[in-house]
Amino acid sequence: MYYRAIYLLIIIFLNSTCYGRFHSRFHHISINENEISSRHLLSFNLINSIKSYQLVSTNIQLHKYFTIENKTHLYAVQSLDREYLCAEQFCSCLTQCSLQLKILSQPEHQIIFVNITINDLNDNLHYFRSNEIQIHIPENTNIQHRQCYRIPNVEDKDLLETNQFIYQLIGNGSEKFEIDQTIGNDLCLRIKNHPLDREERHQYDHLWIIVTDKQQQQAKMQINIQVLDVNDNSPKFLTNLTKVSVNETFTGELICVQAYDPDEGNNGRIIYSFDHFDDKLTQFLYLNNETGCLFILKSLLLTSIDLIPLLQLNNHLLLTIRAQDCGSRMSSTLPVYHPLEIIIDDINDHKPTIQVRQIISSIDIIKNNSQINIIENTIGILAMITVDDIDQGIYGQVQLNLIVQTSIKKHRQAFQLKSTSMKHYKIELVSPLDYELESTIILFLDAIDGGGTPPLSSDAKLTIKVNDINEYCPHLVNFSSEPYIFVSRQRFKKIPAEKFSYRLFAFDKDISDQSNITFNLLPSTYSSAFKLTTNGLLTIDDLPLKLPSIIELDYSLTDTFFPEPCIKQDKLIILIGDTSIDRDYLINEYEKQLETSQHQRLITQKLANNKRKRQETIILFLTFSLSTSVIFLGILCLLCLFCCRKQKRRNRQRSITTKSSSLINPSLLEDSKQQSPHSFITDCNGKSSLLPPLR
């Protein structure tokens, strides 16, 4: 009996756990959706019970999903789809799907409530309602405000708690944006770190948002972002300065000045105007406000009375053009200004003029085709040139060229034309002229203005007359090296009556007639044995035996140059021998003598230099010794002076001490008087002297 009671209790417990509480009126069952059909849900009676049950729900449509078999067992005869049931409004679609069944118990006629919770499963694919979405974002959006641009979220029939999504943004430019999930159903597109710039990129049309669930199923939608323009750019001119040249007689469209504004619509529309425009210029100029084109209504004559006060640098007209966009008054940007320089070119109707001033002899203006006389071997400024052209602009710019008409390269390079200022030049002789090469040189000055077809020019001619100076002295041309003249003794022995003669020839570059050179034999030891005529004939009447074999004759050559002739002195070497062999021997002997004399001269010079160096060394030593002695004596005197002052100070202190002692102790003073009535003081030289007795 004991074991049977335990068994009965176990059976009752199992029935209450597996089939619900049979004695309760409320039962709760939780099942997953879409499970297999004919599933046993609940049993109401215990074994051998006489009760029966039947469905009495008000919603008859639910009867096709459930049934009671054998009057006591509740079964689900069809699979339960939570999404279908919520669509048919059998249960809620926002929370868990719950169904309530009413079951009538017989014979008590009691209603039993069975609450069935259908658990949601991730059995539906999420999707976007549209394949593409357009978003407009202003370019001035402040990223600090974290502005949210809403994107429709994915649709999923399953509950949000059932699934979790991962959002990803891909495509060109996706790094500038990020996706956030808001509290509601929509997503939020935000700008990341840097604001958008429409002028840099106006559209992001290949972005995709991809949503992935736990089962790696994906849904995607294309996002096209259009960046809206904001008037955040001022107009910009293409250049910082515009220069334009125009003929003074021109009328019509001159130039179009353009500015650029990258904004759209009226934000990028530009209006042009003059800034600080003089009213007098309205008769000359017109500016189109829309195109920025400048028109010349009236010729800009440089002689116009109204225009001259407004010109700079005689022909420059400076204007300032103002450009501003047409944005609204609240969003309008600052205007920009662009300088426009109009260079008014004059008509080339005047030739340049050339004015020459001679510098070497005077500073007077010389006429064309004049002659300038200069002395050879002189350098410096030859003439100052002034060119002028009353035309303005490029037509008034004159280029001066110098042409030297000569066949001598040295003379061609001797003249240089140098600019000293805009209209002033100088002709400078950088190397001396040589009269012997050329006495007359022609200079041509060619002045050409800078414009016109053809350009206008003027020329001038100068004749340079080179005056000679006596820069060259005459010299012998008979000898290539040393002037050796050989005289044979055998000739005088064979023909005693015949004289020896030798013709000397001289040359001087400064004179044209070489016969005007005068020869002269200067007195020397053996000059009496020779005769030299003024025209250069050297003769010997006889050869005395006392004449040495080598004789040096001094001679002079004098030209006839006016006003100061040139005289040159030199030596002739007369070699006296018997044969030509003696000539070579004598030449060698003479050269040896020259070498010996040169060597002796070098030795003498070296000895003189050594003697001079020794004297300089002795003088330096004596100077050093004297200065050292003076310094030593000065130091010694300072020491003596210091000692004397110190001894005087010591004696003065001793005297003061003695006086003080006599005042304090008269008895000691009396004793000192008895012992020594006088005091001694020693001066700086060591001498002692008596001091007067103390009183």
C-beta separation of 555 from 567 below 8 A = no
pLDDT at 433 over 70: yes
Q: What is the 3-state secondary structure (H, E, C) of 358-393?
A: ECCCCCCEECCCEEEEEECCCCEEEEEEEEECCCCH
User: Can you say how many angstroms the Cα of residue 183 is from the centroid of all Cα atoms in its chain?
Assistant: 58
Which has more confidence, 351 or 444? 444
Predicted confidence (pLDDT) per residue in 568-596, tens digit:
888 888 888 887 778 888 888 888 888 88
Where does the pLDDT of residue 1 fall: very low under 50, low under 70, confident under 90, or very high at 90 and above?
very low
Peptide bond into 339 cis (omega under 30): no
The Cα-based distances of 104 to 19, 44, 50 in angstroms read 17, 11, 14
Residue type for 631, please? I
How confident is the model at residue 10, as a pLDDT? 45
How confident is the model at residue 673, as a pLDDT? 44
C-beta separation of 570 from 547 below 8 A = no
Predicted confidence (pLDDT) per residue in 361-402, tens digit:
555 677 777 888 888 888 888 888 999 887 766 778 888 999
Q: What is the 3-state secondary structure (H, E, C) of 423-438?
A: CEEEEEECCCCCCCCC
Predicted confidence (pLDDT) per residue in 79-128, tens digit:
777 777 777 777 777 777 887 778 888 877 888 888 888 877 777 778 78
Cα angle: 618, vertex 619, 623; to 5 degrees: 115
User: What gap in Å lies between CA 412 and CA 404, rounded to an integer?
Assistant: 6
User: What gap in Å lies between CA 91 and CA 159, rounded to an integer?
Assistant: 13
Going through 495-582 in order, the beta strands assigned E by DSSP cover 500-503, 506-507, 518-521, 530-532, 537-540, 550-558, 567-577
How confident is the model at residue 50, as a pLDDT? 66
C-beta separation of 167 from 209 below 8 A = yes
Question: In the chain, what are the domains?
Answer: 2-119 (2.60.40.60), 132-228 (2.60.40.60), 236-345 (2.60.40.60), 353-467 (2.60.40.60), 475-589 (2.60.40.60)
Where does the pLDDT of residue 661 fall: very low under 50, low under 70, confident under 90, or very high at 90 and above?
low
How confident is the model at residue 151, as a pLDDT? 83
pTM value > 0.85: no
User: What gap in Å lies between CA 293 and CA 286, rounded to an integer?
Assistant: 8
C-beta separation of 412 from 406 below 8 A = yes
The top-scoring range by mean pLDDT among 215-219, 534-538, 585-589, 680-684 is 534-538
Average pLDDT for the chain: 79
Contacts of 545 (CB under 8 A, 6+ apart): none
Average pLDDT over residues 241-251: 90
pLDDT at 8 over 50: no
Least confident among 90-94, 357-361, 487-491, 669-673: 669-673
Where does the pLDDT of residue 671 fall: very low under 50, low under 70, confident under 90, or very high at 90 and above?
very low
Going through 37-91 in order, the beta strands assigned E by DSSP cover 39-43, 52-55, 66-69, 73-76
Q: H helices within 338-470, ranges in order?
A: 409-414
User: What gap in Å lies between CA 105 and CA 112, rounded to an integer?
Assistant: 7
Average pLDDT over residues 234-258: 89
pLDDT at 330 over 60: no
Predicted confidence (pLDDT) per residue in 611-637, tens digit:
888 899 999 999 999 999 999 999 999
